[in-house]
Amino acid sequence: MSAVSELFERTRGEDRAALVGYLPAGFPTLEGSIRAIEAMIEGGVDLVEVGLPYSDPVMDGPTIQAAAERALAGGTRTSDVFDVVRASAKAGAPTVVMTYWNLVERHGVERFATSLAEAGGSGLITPDLIPDEAGEWTSIAHENGLDQIFLVAPSSTDERLRMTAHAASGFVYATAVMGVTGQREQTSSLAPDLVARLRKVTDKPIGVGLGVSNGEQAREVAAFADAVIVGSALVRCLLDAPDEASGLDAIRTLARDLRAGVERT
């Protein structure tokens, strides 16, 4: 059983949703991103998504794009991501990487998988790779003990939901809204229906992402999902901070608020 599966077994036993936090490697600096992830875990994040900065993040909103641009300007490379993964896993949280697939191909699929596994990573989230085209990755991921985390959206057909859920391991990533990532004032009304449709075709854990920015919204999503995924709100803590110390404090505070939400109290 993977570290991700063990986490969901535990949180289900505790009758709560898992809290998943996203931060890009290298933002605001390489060492700063490690400190930010450690602060996120201290605040109560159960599972960490480390983003691999990309120059053309078509599915990311302006907040994550801004962070990725700063990381790239600072010289962050794919090899640096594995150092961040190593530090995150050492801090006590199962850690996965989220990346566009062409970056994996450019690095070398087998080389990427081996490096991720050696760093203590638990899996890979591939927003632009569908199961039909993931034959090579499926084999290599299995050989390296890595979870394959695929995405579904409200527009996915029932057949696509079934296929994706069958191929996924660790959990199924349900994007709660149409469009790019980012904070929203209200959670998506499409999310509960999407999760309900997934429940009909799988008993695997379902994580819901895109838009959650506070504990109250986390509580709403935790009522029907197995995991609440937060990205832009955590990144914004660092973007808006006057200095690193303030940003880390903001991340801890937000993570605690989000954790209280997923506790369903």
What does the DSSP assignment read for 126-185?
Answer: -TT--GGG-HHHHHHHHHTT-EEE-EE-TT--HHHHHHHHHH--S-EEEE-SSSS----S
What Rg do the C-alpha atoms of the chain give, in angstroms?
17
Catalytic residue annotation: 49, 60
Least Cα distance to 22 among 80, 85, 98 occurs for: 98
Specify whether the CB–CB gap between 211 and 187 falls below 8 A: yes
Q: Please, where are the H alpha helices in the chain?
A: 3-13, 30-43, 62-73, 78-90, 101-107, 109-118, 135-143, 158-167, 190-199, 215-222, 232-239, 244-262
Identify the H or E element spanning 227.
Answer: strand 227-230
Distance CA 131, CA 254 (A): 34
Distance CA 95, CA 239 (A): 23
Structure tokens at 155: 């527009």
Identify the H or E element spanning 95.
Answer: strand 95-98
Structure tokens at 31: 């060492």
Least Cα distance to 97 among 106, 86, 108 occurs for: 86
